[in-house]
Amino acid sequence: MKIEADITEHPHDDNPRLYLCTVCDKRFTRKVSLKRHKQLHTSTGEKLYSCTRCEKQFANQRYLKQHANVHSSKFKCTECGKCCRTNGDLTVHRRIHSGEKPFECTVCSKQFTTSRNLVIHSRIHSGEKPYKCHLCDKAFLWSGNLNTHVRVHTEDKPYKCSLCEKSFSQSCSLQSHKRRIHSNRRPYDCRFCGKLFRSSDHLKHHVYIHTGVKPYSCRHCSDSFTRLEQLKAHLLKSHSEGTWFTCHICQKKFTHSGHLKRHVRRHEGVKP
């Protein structure tokens, strides 16, 4: 996952150490020294600020404060109960319910809820995939997808559950694990049918059943899906975009490494 760091320089004329690292507040007298120091944060992925209410960590206090708004429900969606970090995030999220897509591609007229998604989409027309894996030939439109992909090679699972011995390659997987395995709370209720859910994401995807919204659109055809996993499976099956995980025993293919692992256990006689 891409490190959420905001490393910039803030010179102050009345201070002999003119260059400030905004990740750890350390100051330097020379610009080159600050640049060398920056590499420590970006190369190690150091995250110094931890949320006291969950497992997430951040590279600077600004991101930690924004994250705290999720727990305080400061920016809460009245439609589905999802809590956002900032008012801007909430504005973008509400477009899921309203169907508003104000950003339009000038090449194919496809519309998007955010300008960033439009920029990513425009790379399809140019064939640009700027984020390349240094361990294989795969390239990605998103830097976050590349960072997650690299863990397929390294088998790195930096997100450890504090309640059991399981580890995960993504923080969202850890949070989902803790809700499903270690918590019985279901604080999110559907305004249409009253069904209860452990997370706002689960509720959000459930609401699509009632509203008919399908926010995940295929960039190759007109198909749309209510869940990202459905879109990924569609891209892999219909457009050969993505990675197949193949069983070394029977050659059966899977769209997710976790599905493959569960399948292999059945060959080995291990019950899920």
Residue range 177-224, pLDDT digits in tens: 887 778 777 778 888 898 888 778 888 888 888 888 888 888 888 888
Task: Locate the domains of the chain by residue range.
Answer: 1-72, 242-272
pLDDT of residue 13: 40
Query: What's residue 46's pLDDT?
Result: 53
Strand, coil or helix: 123? helix
Q: Which bin fits 79, alpha (ψ -120 to 50), beta or left (φ > 0)?
A: alpha
Region 50-68: mean pLDDT is 82
pLDDT interval class at 243 (50, 70, 90): low
Average pLDDT of span 132-152? 82
Per-residue pLDDT, averaged over 58-76, amounts to: 87
| Average pLDDT over the chain, rounded to an integer | 78
Answer whether 0.85 is exceeded by the pTM: no
Same fold, 1-72 and 242-272: yes
pLDDT at 228: 82
**Helix ranges (DSSP H) in the chain:** 31-44, 61-72, 87-98, 115-126, 143-154, 171-182, 200-211, 228-239, 257-267
Q: Look at residue 74 in the predicted model and tell me its pLDDT.
A: 92
pLDDT at 47: 57
Residue, of 176 and 203, whose pLDDT is higher: 203
pLDDT at res. 58: 77
Window from 3-17, 102-116, 218-232, 241-255 with minimum mean pLDDT: 3-17
How far is Cα 37 from Cα 64, in angstroms, rounded to an integer? 22
pLDDT band at 12 (very low <50, low <70, confident <90, very high): very low
The yes-or-no verdict on residue 161 having pLDDT over 90 is: no
Average pLDDT over residues 142-164: 82
Candidate from 27-36, 108-117, 167-176 with smallest mean pLDDT: 27-36
Tell me what pLDDT residue 247 has: 84
The CATH class, in words, for 242-272 is alpha beta
**In this structure, which CATH number among 1.10.20, 1.10.287, 3.30.160, 2.30.30 belongs to the domain 1-72?**
3.30.160
Question: What's CA 28's distance to the chain center, in Å?
Answer: 33
Q: What is the pLDDT of residue 75?
A: 93
Place of tokens 């305080």: 72
Residues in Cβ contact with 10 at an 8 Å cutoff, skipping those fewer than 6 apart: 19, 20, 22
Confidence grade of residue 39 (pLDDT, cut at 50, 70, 90):
low
pLDDT value at position 102? 92
Which pLDDT band, with edges at 50, 70 and 90, does 30 fall under?
Answer: confident
In this prediction, residue 160 carries a pLDDT of: 86
